[in-house]
Amino acid sequence: MISTATIQTNQQLLKMNNNFYQEFTSKRVKERSIGDAYYRVQQWRYFFRNGIQENGIFKKITLKEAADIVKVPKKTLEDYIQIFNKVELIINIEEIAEKKMGYLRSFMKKNKSKIRKEIALRRQKKLEENLKNKEASNNIQPIQSEDEQQTNHYPNIDILSINIEEETYEDEYSNFIFNKLTSKCTLD
């Protein structure tokens, strides 16, 4: 039989255990406002990029050290950056700055398709811009002086930009280059 003393001891241990876990749950930080989180992320990135001044000397600091200065865990700040980068695509953060981060997370879930479309659209624009820049740089040719034109009998060919299959042999490659060079020479 179990004695009443052991039952009381077990009950006391359970109470102590419950009190132990209550301490952890009572320490929970209230949810941050969007404006506060955004400001802290900006501070964090500023300290990381610019460093801090100690005794008149600027010192570079790590992301972790910058997070400690801002008093928010680094992992949380990284999470906030991801959220803000996505949400900024479809809404101005300053408009919802007084709301809580939970609102922003649910907003992202509701508008996931809009965010994906906007990301795809921006990628497409960036690719088109890169292509335009590449074409513009290919159309610009360096101007040579008359002396350089007379002494340079070989055409300018960027050998690195020539696309060939990896499985070609050295003979085929050299024939390919030779044909390219001769076709350039006959065109000039």
Q: How confident is the model at residue 74 (pLDDT cuts 50, 70, 90)?
A: very high
Burial 109-122 (b: 16+ CB within 10 A, else e): eebeeebeeeeeee
Q: Is the pLDDT of residue 76 over 90?
A: yes
Q: Which two tokens stand for residue 185?
A: 């020479």
Q: Are residues 105 and 185 in the same domain?
A: no
- Structurally, the chain folds into a number of domains equal to 2
Q: Are residues 124 and 48 in the same domain?
A: yes
Residue 68 in any domain: the answer is yes
Residue 3 in any domain: the answer is no
104: left (phi over 0), alpha (psi -120 to 50) or beta: alpha
Q: Are residues 53 and 117 in the same domain?
A: yes
Q: Are residues 162 and 132 in the same domain?
A: no
The more confident residue out of 3 and 30 is 30
Tell me the sheet residues that pair with 57. 54
Q: Name the residue among 23, 178, 34, 177 with its Cα closest to residue 107.
A: 34
Per-residue model confidence as pLDDT tens digits over 110-157: 999 999 999 999 999 999 999 988 888 777 655 555 555 555 555 555
Per-residue model confidence as pLDDT tens digits over 25-71: 444 467 899 999 999 999 999 999 998 888 888 889 999 999 999 99
Q: Are residues 55 and 108 in the same domain?
A: yes
pLDDT of residue 85: 92
Residues sharing a CB contact under 8 Å with residue 52, sequence separation 6 or more, in sequence order: 58, 59, 61, 69
Note down the domain range covering 59. 30-137
